[in-house]
Amino acid sequence: MTSPLRRTWPLAVVLAVCCACSAGPSVRPDVAVAQRPGETTGRTADAEQEPPPLEAPRTDLDWSDCTRTTLDTLGLGPGPAGLIIECAQLAAPIDESSPIPGTFSLGVSRARLPQTPADAGPLVLTSGADRASTATLAALAAGPITDLLATRPVVAVDRRGIGTSTTIECIDTPGLRRAMLDLGQFSPPDPDGGDAADKVMALSRDATVGCTDFLQPQELDFDAAHAADDLEQLRKAWGVERLGLLTTGNGAAVGLSYAAQHPDRLSRLVLDAPGSVRADAVTAAESRVAGQEAALAAFARQCAALACSLGPDPRTAVADLVRRASAGELAPVSSNGVLTALTGFLGAPRGDQQARVREFSEVLAAAGRGDVGPLDSLIGHTAAATDSDGQFIARCSDGHQWPTPGRARELRTAWAEQYPVFGPDAALSLLLCTAWPTTPPPELPATLDVAVLTLSGAADPVVGSAGAGSVTGAVAAAGAANATVAWLGSGHPVSTHSSCGQLAIAGYAGTGMLPPDGGACPG
């Protein structure tokens, strides 16, 4: 594991916490799958040249078994029989172009099963800043779907300051991190009479000052482009010619940046539930909010069908809980705290789905009755996985064109009508990064000779579904063949929820050939 970066630089052992301890519902409409699992079209980026297979490392990392520690810490249960998760560290230059020397320790994990071929080349997973890549991999590996891991190992690389990479602890003002999670709801009144937007702006300034002071002169070295540099360090360490990348969520920006920087070093590119690339912060946020509202609707339908603790109209019950939290009736639980736990649950991988829906609904119902302890505990667990200092830095570095306070106020009013549960706090959340120094958007590939597979969910509470269009547009502009598979379910990402999606990835990873474009997987 890694030692955290603190102002006092002590050594400690750190392991990231998983997304959330519960799983949300799936959407199961009556729909035919548009292709047989694993079926391909035979199309590649170059129809006259079959892509080379993924390469096994020639020189491997120093792996150590961390199966039990990882699964226990993340609360994921035992996983399938024989599952092996191994951990390692990789040193990467802080900035290869900088005259200032230094390296950053990256956490790397590998998952495989007893039937995984020993000589199979791995896929390299990056979740970007949405989740720690190691937590995403562990959720995939411990879930009930093993189609992908049965064909090859998957290796996850955590971004700088996230998960099992060297952690960053720069937001050290007492209470500041919790105030950011709560969007300043319980902060003292602004002495100048400012509103909620002014409070969040003040939090943004305080967090930015603390982190930029701590990181300088490398405060701009934590964006998607530098994350792509770190993947190149793994390729060099392995001594292979090319990498096969599996990206999830915001990791799409990392994967496309790698394709732009190293077009001759890429052999496969899977964009699973991609976030929007090159989109302004408001556009990306609206896609996410729309996905959250859709995922909540799916959860409410299943909750009602199970006669859960939230009564006959679970969506109205959740909306009322958020309203009461916003009014301060559930203190110390804030409205954004409720939404943080809700988003973590809605995106989490499936397990005993019905039992978990009932369990989560009881936590919400208990909070409605005044017992907020279980919900507050769940909020803390979810925030540990999604709102670390490293994720604050990475998200702010990756975002572009953050809105002004005036624009955020307008969005808060408009989204309260359009997205009544998630919209108002989502508009305020946009102000958390407004003080962060501007970084250029990640480079997109000018040309790309690798076929690209994109998977997109119908109700994705982490990034929404609009990102699929932006990445396929970027891929098409680079001249690459592309196929999109739509998963008609609820959650994030597709690969941790859908056997059909995993089979599509496995088939493409094995042959380099794409499934039919426009295919669909049932929820």
Angle among Cα 485, 491, 494 to the nearest 5 degrees reads 30
Encoded amino acid at 486, one letter: A
Which CATH number do you get for residue 317? Answer: 3.40.50.1820
Distance of CA 508 to the CA centre of its chain: 22
Q: Which secondary structure element, helix H or strand E, spans residue 250, and what is its range?
A: none
The reported pLDDT for the residue numbered 154 is: 98
The reported pLDDT for the residue numbered 280 is: 94
Helix (H, G, I), strand (E, B) or coil at 382: helix
**HEC secondary structure over 29-83:** CCCCCCCCCCCCCCCCCCCCCCCCCCCCCCCCCCCEECHHHHHHHHCCCCCCCCC
Neighbours of 15 (CB within 10 A): 20
DSSP string covering 264-305, please? GGEEEEEEEEEPPSS--HHHHHHHHHHHHHHHHHHHHHHHHH
| Helix ranges (DSSP H) in 95-195 | 133-142, 176-181
Encoded amino acid at 378, one letter: L
The reported pLDDT for the residue numbered 193 is: 80
Residue 363, domain extent: 1-523
The total of structural domains in the chain comes to: 1
> Rounded to an integer, what distance in angstroms lies between the CA atom of residue 408 and that of residue 29?
36
Do 51 and 519 contact (CB within 8 A), yes or no?
no
The reported pLDDT for the residue numbered 460 is: 96
Beta bridge partners of 2: 14
> What does each of the 523 residues of the chain score in pLDDT, given as a tens digit?
444 544 332 212 222 223 333 333 333 332 333 444 445 555 554 444 678 899 999 999 999 999 999 999 888 888 999 999 999 999 999 887 766 678 889 999 999 999 999 999 999 999 988 899 999 999 999 988 999 999 999 999 999 999 999 999 999 899 999 999 999 999 998 788 889 999 999 999 999 999 999 999 899 999 999 999 999 999 999 999 999 999 999 999 999 999 999 999 999 999 999 999 989 999 999 999 999 999 999 999 999 999 999 999 999 999 999 999 999 999 999 999 999 999 999 998 766 788 989 999 999 999 999 999 999 999 999 999 999 999 999 999 999 999 999 999 999 999 999 999 999 999 999 999 999 998 888 889 999 999 999 999 999 999 999 999 999 999 999 999 999 999 999 999 999 999 999 999 999 999 999 999 999 999 8
